[in-house]
Amino acid sequence: MFRYIVLLGFILLGVSACSSQQSQDFKETRFMLGTIVEFTVYDANETLALKAIQQAAAAMQAVEDEFTTYGQVFNTVKAFNQAQPTEVIQLAPDVEALLLQAINIHEQTLGAFDPTLGELNQLWGFSGGQPPTTPPSKQKISHGLHYSGVENIRHLNKGWTKKIAGLQLDFGAIAKGLAIDKGIEVFKQYGLEHAIINAGGDIRVLGNHGLQPWRIGIRHPRQATALGWIEVGQDLSVVTSGDYERFYMYRGQRYHHILDPKTGEPATQNMSVTVIAETATVADALSTGLFVLGQKQGMDLVEKMAGVEALWVGKDQKIRMSSGMKTIFHISDVAHKK
């Protein structure tokens, strides 16, 4: 009898030791990069998971500090933006690398993605400060257009210079992606294999959710519900750009924060564009670029790019998908009825 009790105790101990090793979700939420950032780590080691989340958040905050054009913090983006055409500015290594990547995506998207729209973005006033209520005058828009253009910045041996004073770099459409990638890098350095970083709907996934894939909802651009979802069980990023994120209505027309570099005004072709790519940096930049670019040109580009898929919700609320997206996107009933 005694022997059985001992045996039973052993098995129970074994089970409880085993269950304390079982993976579970550890979550933390921070406000940074102008949005709510949610970290989820699926792991058995709580101490490790929470430490990794702290470090990932710190790495993401460092990206915000390096790229922000607001607040008191000094960075090389502000130095460049304030510089005169005679000055050569040495950008921080991360800033220079992201600028080169941004110029590359500018070329791929036929100019639709443009990191030199700082003056125009400020004119429209969607980032920082009081939200606007009326659109700027045509005269001010053409003034803003004059102070933009990738052809007006130059890479020299010692750094970067601009042809016209007043030209401002703006990484608002790509730096959040870089921050997410840096956060995921930290998770990898900690040896974590299952995690997700969600920065206001812009997501990168590491591994899967144990035996399950992660399920990522895509927002409906006009309803407080999901358009559909994607199930992801591998390292991937999913980022959406939409005209519902920052906007106001004026005389029945919607004015939002994604500008067409050709007109200097909010792009009019789409309500939202979702991009899947290996990194959040690429997905972030491409979702903004494809939002501006015509759907046909955008589709041609996506079909050519390895590992990239996209979903467009056009101004008519019609959904269009690249070939790979069709195989993984589950449309919700609400969106179906449209």
Residues that bind ligand AMP (CB under 6 A): 112-115, 117, 121, 126-127, 170, 172-173, 241, 245, 257-259, 261, 284, 287-288, 292
Q: Which residue of this chain has its Cβ atom nearest to ligand AMP in the complex? A: 172
Q: Which helix (H) or strand (E) holds 310?
A: strand 309-314
Report the residue number, 172 or 183, with the smaller CB distance to ligand AMP.
Answer: 172
329 binds, among Mg ion, ligand AMP, none (CB under 5 to 8 A by kind): none
If we measure between CA atoms, which residue out of 136, 164, 130 comes closest to residue 264?
A: 136
Window 154-173: residues binding Mg ion (CB under 5 A): 173
The answer to the question of residue 43 lying near Mg ion (CB under 5 A) is no
Residues 6+ apart with CB under 8 A from 26: 40, 41, 42, 43, 46, 49, 50, 53
126 binds, among ligand AMP, Mg ion, none (CB under 5 to 8 A by kind): ligand AMP
Residues β-bridged to residue 332: none
Burial class of 140 by CB neighbour count within 10 A (0 to 12, 13 to 18, 19+)? middle
Report the residue number, 173 or 271, with the smaller CB distance to Mg ion.
Answer: 173
The C-alpha atoms of residue 278 and residue 80 are separated, in whole angstroms, by: 30
Cα separation values, 197 from 53, 68, 104, 108, 181, Å = 10, 20, 25, 27, 9
The answer to the question of residue 284 lying near Mg ion (CB under 5 A) is yes
* Structural contact between residues 145 and 168, judged by C-beta atoms closer than 8 angstroms: no
Q: How far is the CB of 260 from Mg ion (least distance, A)?
A: 14
The C-alpha atoms of residue 213 and residue 53 are separated, in whole angstroms, by: 21
259 binds, among ligand AMP, Mg ion, none (CB under 5 to 8 A by kind): ligand AMP
Report the residue number, 38 or 245, with the smaller CB distance to ligand AMP.
Answer: 245
Q: How far is the CB of 150 from ligand AMP (least distance, A)?
A: 10
The answer to the question of residue 114 lying near Mg ion (CB under 5 A) is no
Q: How far is the CB of 37 from ligand AMP (least distance, A)?
A: 15
Q: How far is the CB of 124 from ligand AMP (least distance, A)?
A: 8
The C-alpha atoms of residue 302 and residue 158 are separated, in whole angstroms, by: 35
If we measure between CA atoms, which residue out of 167, 209, 191, 225 comes closest to residue 27?
A: 209
* Structural contact between residues 228 and 335, judged by C-beta atoms closer than 8 angstroms: yes
Q: How far is the CB of 98 from ligand AMP (least distance, A)?
A: 12
The answer to the question of residue 109 lying near Mg ion (CB under 5 A) is no
Q: How far is the CB of 95 from ligand AMP (least distance, A)?
A: 15
Window 296-325: residues binding Mg ion (CB under 5 A): none
Q: How far is the CB of 115 from ligand AMP (least distance, A)?
A: 6
Residues lying near Mg ion in the complex (CB under 5 A): 173, 284, 287-288
